[in-house]
Structure 1
Amino acid sequence: MDNGDIFRHAGRVEMRSRIMILHCVFCNFRADVSVEQRQKTFEELSAFSLSLDGVLAFDFGPNRDYEKKSQDYSDGFVVRFASQSALELYADHQMHKELGKHLCDLCEGGGEGIIVFDIETP
């Protein structure tokens, strides 16, 4: 997508010259991983993420799964990036790689226990 794309937002079609990226990560933690371990890992990811230019927000928490469609994924987090280049800076950073490896180690099947969506949004 370029910077002049059309987005559908809340039933409206809008033309925006700037997009943001929602980096959504959903985790299927191993049964032996405590709530405290999950919390600490997310707090470390949050502190790292928020230290980078272009990161607008970091939110995490348990999956409430009100629709009963994602029961295997107990927790997740969302990082809001100001741009694709901010996401790339985050993804290429050595600390992200280290924290990501640790997160994979805590999930069922390693990286197979994690789902990632990157959503462009106005």
Structure 2
Amino acid sequence: MIIHTFCFRWKPGTTDAQKERAYDEISELHSQIPGILETNVGANFSPRSQGYEFGGVMKFADRDSMDAYATHPVHLQLLSWLVPLVEALEVDFEV
């Protein structure tokens, strides 16, 4: 199994509506893209957050599934509007 983790620092000017849209769209990816086993997202409340306000974890059966997700049109559409709004950090590992 592959665990894909991510966290965002929102760039100045990002609206609450855009943050809610990110939450909603990321939460639904597992129902739109084959190979995603589970998706969990939420606001980061850690006092050690270093400014990262939003995070998530996705589970994939294997690397091929994660690679297919990376290039899936639904994911690419999300990235097209989200990437300009965030400073992101990602960590992927096998369990």
Q: What TM-score does the superposition give when structure 2 sets the normalisation length?
A: 0.86
Q: 1:94 offset after TM fit, Å?
A: 1.9
Partner residue, 2:12: 31
Partner residue, 1:74: 53
Query: Are residues 1:55 and 2:36 paired?
Result: yes
Query: For each residue in 1:39-70, what CA deviation from the matched residue of structure 2 results, as whole angstroms up to 9, or x when unmatched?
Result: 2112112223332222111110111114x2x3
2-structure distance, mates of 1:119, 1:77 = 14
1-structure distance, mates of 2:45, 2:16 = 15
Identify unmatched segments of 5+ residues in structure 1: 1-19, 108-112
1-structure distance, mates of 2:5, 2:81 = 17
Letter in 2 for 1:71: Q
Identify unmatched segments of 5+ residues in structure 2: none
Q: CA RMSD in A?
A: 1.6
The count of aligned residue pairs is 95
Runs in 1 of length 4+ with deviation above 4 angstroms?
Answer: none
